[in-house]
Amino acid sequence: MKLDRDAIKNGVIHEMVREAQDSGFMDPRPEAERQALLDAVLDKRDPDGSIWVFGYGSLMWNPAIHFTEKRCGLIRGYHRSYCMWSPGGRGTPELPGLMLALDHGGSCRGMAFRIAPDQVREELDIIWSREMIGRAYRARWVLARTSEGEVRALTFVIDRNYIRYAAKVPRDVQAAHLATAKGRLGSSMEYLENTVAHLDELGFSDGPMHDILKRARAYSGAPPAGRWENGKWRTIQKRS
């Protein structure tokens, strides 16, 4: 299933969250809390009323929002990382995928999108349904350096206290899950390939994501076995 604009507006993510909640893998934000966080962001928009949003994963190649301008940008203080276990979307509880987030330290190249003042509320509602329905991310303002100057942009950073935060997963374990995990939104490999392809289009053809893709493509083993322990996936062994 493609996670496009219509699917998001029609509530597919809310449906997936309810399923994950029933299975014990999701603690969604209450609607009042989610709206309060959105209102706080809107209060800090640029003086002209517009907002820039910085994408580093699927937002780069599938923004699903209306925008008036986009620019390649570099932010500092955060790096792109496969640091969140995903038992839904692009994985299952039996074989979770890994999802990208911004984690602390380093730098990250991505795409900044400008939302026009008269579209900010509607477009951020879509982004909020996509990124802020759960408790994995914190919305943060960053400075994105572009060829046309710096822009102040909104982005989404992993909360390291989040129960499914995946810190320091070995590269070979990452590759095994990315090569084999699939869910309702497709495969983890597809997500990785789309992200790397977009980085290539931007002129960045060598980096950590490319190394992970090479490892995932070279993986030929069975899906990794493991179990959930206090919300964390623990790899046990490779199935024979």
For residue range 57-83, what is the model confidence (pLDDT) as tens digits?
Answer: 999 999 999 999 999 999 999 999 999
Rounded CA separation 147/180 (Å): 38
147 has pLDDT over 80: yes
Q: What is the CATH number of the domain that holds 82?
A: 3.10.490.10
Q: Is the entire prediction scored with pTM above 0.85?
A: yes
pLDDT band at 240 (very low <50, low <70, confident <90, very high): very low
Distances (CA, A) of 195 to 67, 202, 235: 20, 11, 25
Residue with tokens 């996936």, as numbered in its chain: 233
Residues 142-150: what's their mean pLDDT? 96
Please report whether residue 82 resides in a domain. yes
By residue range, what is the domain housing residue 129? Answer: 5-168
Q: Strands, DSSP E only, in the chain?
A: 51-55, 69-86, 97-115, 137-146, 149-158, 182-183, 186-187, 224-229, 232-238
pLDDT band at 239 (very low <50, low <70, confident <90, very high): very low
Among the ranges given (19-28, 88-97, 161-170, 208-217), the one the predictor scored with the smallest mean pLDDT:
19-28
Among the ranges given (18-27, 29-38, 47-56, 137-146), the one the predictor scored with the smallest mean pLDDT:
18-27
Q: Is 131 a catalytic residue?
A: yes
Please report whether residue 214 resides in a domain. no
For residue range 42-54, what is the model confidence (pLDDT) as tens digits?
Answer: 999 989 999 999 9
* Identified catalytic residue from 131, 148, 150, 201: 131
Please report whether residue 181 resides in a domain. no
Please report whether residue 159 resides in a domain. yes
Say what the pLDDT of residue 161 is: 93
Rounded CA separation 223/211 (Å): 20
For residue range 185-232, what is the model confidence (pLDDT) as tens digits?
Answer: 999 999 999 999 999 998 888 889 999 999 999 999 999 999 998 878
Rounded CA separation 144/75 (Å): 5
Please report whether residue 14 resides in a domain. yes
**Could you give the number of structural domains in the chain?**
1
pLDDT band at 25 (very low <50, low <70, confident <90, very high): confident
Please report whether residue 9 resides in a domain. yes
Please report whether residue 126 resides in a domain. yes
Please report whether residue 63 resides in a domain. yes
For residue range 93-131, what is the model confidence (pLDDT) as tens digits?
Answer: 999 999 999 999 999 999 999 999 999 999 999 999 999
Neighbours of 132 (CB within 10 A): 22
| Torsion region of 131: left, alpha or beta (phi above 0 gives left; psi -120 to 50 gives alpha) | alpha
In DSSP terms, which residues pair with 146 in a beta bridge?
Answer: 149
Say what the pLDDT of residue 111 is: 96
Residues 143-157: what's their mean pLDDT? 96
